[in-house]
Amino acid sequence: MKKVFITSNIPKAGLSLLKDKFQLTFHEPLDRQITEEELIEASKNHDAIITILSDPVTERVISAGGDKLKIVANYGAGFNNIDIDTCKKRNVQATNTPGVLHKTTADLTFAMILSIARRLKESEQFLRDGNFGGWKPDLFLGSDIHNKTLGIIGLGEIGQEVAKRAKGFNMKTLYYKRTQLSQKEEQELNVNYASFEHILSESDFLSLHVPLTEKTHHLISKDEFVKMKNDAFLINTSRGPVVDESALVKALETNQIRGAALDVFEEEPKVHNGLLNREDCLLLPHIGSATQKCRDDMSILTCKNVLAVLEGKEPLTPVV
C-alpha cells in the first residue's frame, strides 16, 4: 500500500478520499510545527507528503525522498515554502490549491480595509472598556472607503476578487500586474492599469496580492513608503516578507502613512514588536482562507492531487 505523510490537521473532507486507498501517517504532535529534520525522515519512506505553508520543503527534504517520493501537495495557494527547482530536477510533483480560496481571502481583505479605515478594533475596545458615554461629533472619526482609490499590486485571482468587491463601494481601482488584462477584462472588473510608482502615489488603500519570490521580497520598503500618501493604508494578505516590517514601523511612527492591516508577517508567527502596540495597525493571525467551507475545499483539492499522482495520473493543480 502506498504511504502518505500529513504534517497538519487538515480537514477530513479531503482525507476521506485517501483513507481506504493509502496508508496515512500524521506528524506527531499534530499541533507542533514540523521541523526540516522531521520532514526529511518522513520523506524517506512516503510516496506523498501533504504540507502547509510553514513547512520547510527544502532541497534536503525532497532529495531524501529518493525514487519513492512522488508528490508534495501543499495545502494552500502559496508555495514559497517548497524548493520547486529541486522538485523539477527530481521529478517530484508539487501542487497547490488555487481556485478555492480566492473569494474567501478577498472577503477578508475587504473586511480589513473596512476595519482599519473605520477604526473598528479601537472603537470596540473603547466600548468594552466602559468608555462609551454617548454619541459625540468627534468620536472615532475614520476614513471613507467609497469613492477612494484602491491600488492592487498583483491582480491574480485574489486581487481580481478584491477588485470586484471594490466596485460595490464605488472605488477607483488601479492595478499593477506583470501582464496587463484585456480591455474587456479591465472593464468588467472596473480596473485601470498603472505603473507601480503611480499606484504608490495615488492609492488611499494599497492592497498586496503577489506571491513571495526573490523579486517581491521587501517590495514595499522605505522608498515605497516615502512615495505613498500620508493618509494611505497598507493592506497585506499575501506573504509577510513582501513588506519590510522595520520600514513599516518607521513609516507609521513618522506619519508617512496612516495605518496598516496585516494578516501575514515577515517571521510568522513572530510579529515585529514595533507593530504590536500601535492603534493604527490591525494585526491578524494569517486567517485569509479561514472558513470551514474554504478549508474543506482546500483539503479536497489537496487530496485529489495526491490521489491523481499516486494513481499515475496528472495532478489537477500542479504549480509549474
Active site residue ranges: 239, 268, 286
Q: Between 9 and 48, how does the x/- string for binding to ligand DGY read (CB under 6 A)?
A: ----------------------------------------
CB of 78 to ligand DGY, least distance (A): 3
Q: For residue 221, give every residue at least 6 positions away whose Cβ sits within 8 Å of its Cβ, in sequence order, or none.
A: 243, 244, 247
- What residue type is assigned to position 240 of the chain? G
CB of 60 to ligand DGY, least distance (A): 23
CA distance 253 to 281: 11
C-beta of 251 vs 260, nearer to ligand DGY: 260
- 289 touches ligand DGY by CB under 6 A: yes
Stretch that binds ligand DGY, among 73-81, 130-138, 164-172, 252-260 (CB under 6 A): 73-81
- What residue type is assigned to position 18 of the chain? L
Q: For residue 214, give every residue at least 6 positions away whose Cβ sits within 8 Å of its Cβ, in sequence order, or none.
A: none
- 77 touches ligand DGY by CB under 6 A: yes
Letter string b/e over residues 180-189, b meaning 16 or more CB atoms within 10 A of that residue's CB? ebeeeebeeb
Contact 199, 153 (CB under 8 A): yes
| Binding-site member from 14, 56, 240, 288 for ligand DGY (CB under 6 A) | 288
- 53 touches ligand DGY by CB under 6 A: yes
Residue whose C-alpha cell is 480596473: 191
| Binding-site member from 14, 56, 78, 240 for ligand DGY (CB under 6 A) | 78
Q: Between 101 and 140, how does the x/- string for binding to ligand DGY read (CB under 6 A)?
A: x---------------------------------------
Q: For residue 65, give every residue at least 6 positions away whose Cβ sits within 8 Å of its Cβ, in sequence order, or none.
A: 43, 44, 46, 49, 90, 92
User: β-strands 149-153, 205-208: how paired?
Assistant: parallel
Stretch that binds ligand DGY, among 70-78, 199-207, 252-260, 302-310 (CB under 6 A): 70-78
Question: Nine-digit cell at 110?
Answer: 475587504
Judged by the rule CB under 6 A, the positions of this chain that interact with ligand DGY are 53, 76-78, 101, 288-289
